[in-house]
Amino acid sequence: MQLRLNNTFRSLRVRNYRLFATGQLVKMIGVWMQFTAQDWLVLQLSHQRPTALGTVTALQFLPVLLLTLYGGKLADRFDKRKLLIAVNAAFAVVAGVLATLVATGVVQLWHVFLVAFVAGTINAIEGPVRQSFVSELVGRELLPNALALSAATFNSARVIGPAVAGAAIDWIGIGPVFVANAVMCVGPLISAIRMRPSELYRNEPGHVASRDARIIDGLRYTRRRPDLVIPMVLMLVVGLFGFNFPVTLAVTATKVFHSGAQSFGLLSTALAIGALAGALAGSGRRGRPSIYIVLMGALLFGSLEMLAGFAPSYLAEIGLLIPTGFFMIYFAQATNQRIQLGADAEFRGRVIGLYMLIFLGTTPFGSMLIGWADERFGPRSGLWIGGIASVLAGLVMTVVQVRRSDAEIGVHMRPRPHVHVREPAADGRVIDFRVPAIRPAAR
């Protein structure tokens, strides 16, 4: 047990990564507290309109469509640590403005919309920089573990933040939640300042900032890599329809189960508990996950989200959201690891920028579509529509991968249920993949 724990958290032995993870945990707890409070505030200000909730979510993620590729370019051209200091300082200022508006009681719906757009603009730059910076904190050998722990940090915040926010809104009001977030957003700024630049891993070819990095070159590079394109296309569909829980859970809590802020927070926490377990489940990987792990994650996530859309009771909804959250992050993390570990260092920032454009840039359209579907087809429809779309995408991409690689797939029930994939390698070997016993063996 002790050895397993040491392997799970081995990246935390690196001082710079430890500072990075601590700062991100502090910030993300505050951000998830604000997300929960913001969704509740928007429902109050808009008189319970799901479309308003979809609008604020769309405005929050719309800048990703415009600026994430540029953020990836900046990550490949400039010092990532200094960029993180700048963008986190700007984010703290924006959080402080919204906290002031809410705490003074003068906030209006358009204020929330505007701040969401500005914060989204900052996040569009910060995301690719932060993601690609991880490889400089720990080096390639620890990168799979560090990416898994970063996902675990994110989802630990998703467990703590909504639960604290839901209770705080009921006990002391919504204003203190926004104030707490403004204070906690300073965490990653302090962490980045305290890092030792001399201990960063910048010796790998391509880690040195390139002044002539162009966005178009990153797009051409990705287009030539089917092993990157397939998971990105899958994430495009799953992200568009399946990852809209800020909208679907708020609507489910209020319209289906007629609950208050604390119950909404508990739904978000149930999803996050599963997500945290999913992140930790992938922390033991030491190499690049196979495409079949990504495909399996998408299929299981979609199936569980679809079932969550038909949950007969509040407790059943919580019970289904836990495994849904598990496979949501299991899929997203495996996709992230496959893309990051497959991209050359000189293109990594731009490839991650494209991935985040697909991952987060679909949210404005998805949140609006799901908000509309909830009003048109009922408050449960957002969940089951997202689940069906994710399953279909997983099936289509599985067919594409099998035909492209001339693979053979078999389902076996003994000695334990698993999917067995035999795929010929370029050098003439046959590679066996056993899912969910996800350890590939070549022979």
CATH of the domain at 254: 1.20.1250.20
Q: Domain check: are 310 and 365 in the same one?
A: yes
Per the structure block, which two tokens stand in for 325?
A: 């959250």
Q: Domain check: are 112 and 89 in the same one?
A: yes
Q: Domain check: are 229 and 374 in the same one?
A: yes
What pTM, to 2 d.p., does this model score? Answer: 0.71
Q: Domain check: are 418 and 386 in the same one?
A: no
Q: Which domain holds residue 333?
A: 2-405
Q: Domain check: are 310 and 441 in the same one?
A: no
* Local confidence pLDDT in tens for the 443 residues of the chain: 454 555 677 888 889 999 999 999 999 898 888 888 888 888 878 876 777 877 887 788 778 778 888 888 888 888 889 999 999 999 999 999 989 988 888 888 889 899 989 988 998 888 888 888 888 888 777 888 888 788 778 767 766 777 788 778 878 888 888 888 889 989 999 999 999 988 888 755 444 545 566 778 888 888 889 889 999 999 999 988 888 887 788 778 877 887 766 677 788 788 888 887 887 787 667 678 888 889 999 999 999 999 998 988 888 999 999 999 999 989 988 898 898 888 887 787 788 888 888 877 676 677 778 778 877 887 788 889 999 999 999 999 988 888 887 777 777 677 677 666 776 665 555 566 666 544 443 33
Find the helix or strand (DSSP H, E) in which 142 lies: none
Q: Domain check: are 352 and 421 in the same one?
A: no
Q: Domain check: are 338 and 421 in the same one?
A: no
Q: Domain check: are 282 and 141 in the same one?
A: yes
- Angle CA 114–332–408, to nearest 5: 145
Number of domains in the chain: 2
DSSP 343: S
Q: How many CB atoms lie within 10 A of CB 114?
A: 16
Q: Domain check: are 440 and 361 in the same one?
A: no
SS3 call for 417? coil
Per the CB < 8 A criterion, the answer to whether 366 and 374 are in contact is no
Helices (H), 259-380: 261-281, 291-308, 314-342, 348-361, 363-377
Q: Domain check: are 271 and 356 in the same one?
A: yes
Q: Domain check: are 74 and 172 in the same one?
A: yes
Q: Domain check: are 350 and 365 in the same one?
A: yes
